Amino acid sequence: MKPDECILYSGAANGAEAAFGEAAERLAIEEVNFTFEGHNDARRRGIRVLTHKELEHGDVSLAYVSRLMHRRYRDTPLFKKVLQSIWHQVNSGQEIFVVGRILEDRTVKGGTGWGAEFAKLCNKPLFVFDQLKGGWFHWTGDDWEAAAAPRITHPLFTGTGTRFLEPAGRAAIEALFARSFA
């Protein structure tokens, strides 16, 4: 696969999403960064401001997400828009890469976790770099399995994750792009 055949779908937020975008830009991979009015974007390249109607397409019940994720989320307009924009990221990609932390209940921490759960529900290939464990994991359909060195294998892929990107997470993103587009 060639970089000019690919599109990264992300969200332009600080942390993992910005790092995915920076890696894509270095390789001239097209970016689509879903955002909404009032969001604090770390990247401007490929910005796609979602309309109110488009955000509604990604609407999900906070009660449902809370049950699915085994925790409670704040019911604020900002947080709902974040979840709606994550829906667009995952819905657009054929393969999903996340940087964050896998919890004991097999969900991923934070709002990023909704993206991982939505990818599971859509049966999309899902890889998570767990910053605490220092490695990549692949969702098998039933559980997380260690994945030594995943590659981007679909031309339309999603890169998302935590705002609190650690050096190991940044290095994992860089290595993912290096392996995939060597």
Confidence of residue 178 (pLDDT cuts 50, 70, 90): very high
**Chain position carrying tokens 């999309």:** 124
Nearest to 27 by CA among 62, 52, 3: 3
Domain ranges of the chain: 3-180
Tokens 């999900």 sit on residue: 60
Helix axes 62-69, 77-92, angle to 10 degrees: 70
Q: Find the mean pLDDT for residues 122-138.
A: 98
In the prediction, which pLDDT does 173 show?
A: 98
Spatial CB neighbours of 157, under 8 Å, sequence gap ≥ 6: 6, 7, 8, 9, 93, 94, 95, 96, 97
Residue 137 has pLDDT above 90, yes or no: yes
When pLDDT is cut at 50, 70 and 90, the band that residue 65 belongs to is: confident
> Top-level CATH class of 3-180?
alpha beta
Is a pLDDT exceeding 90 seen at residue 19?
A: yes
Query: Rounded to whole angstroms, how far apart are CA atoms 165 and 71?
Result: 22
pLDDT above 90 covers what percent of the chain? Answer: 84
Q: Helix (H) and strand (E) counts for the chain?
A: 6, 8
Q: Locate tokens 């997470």: which residue?
A: 169
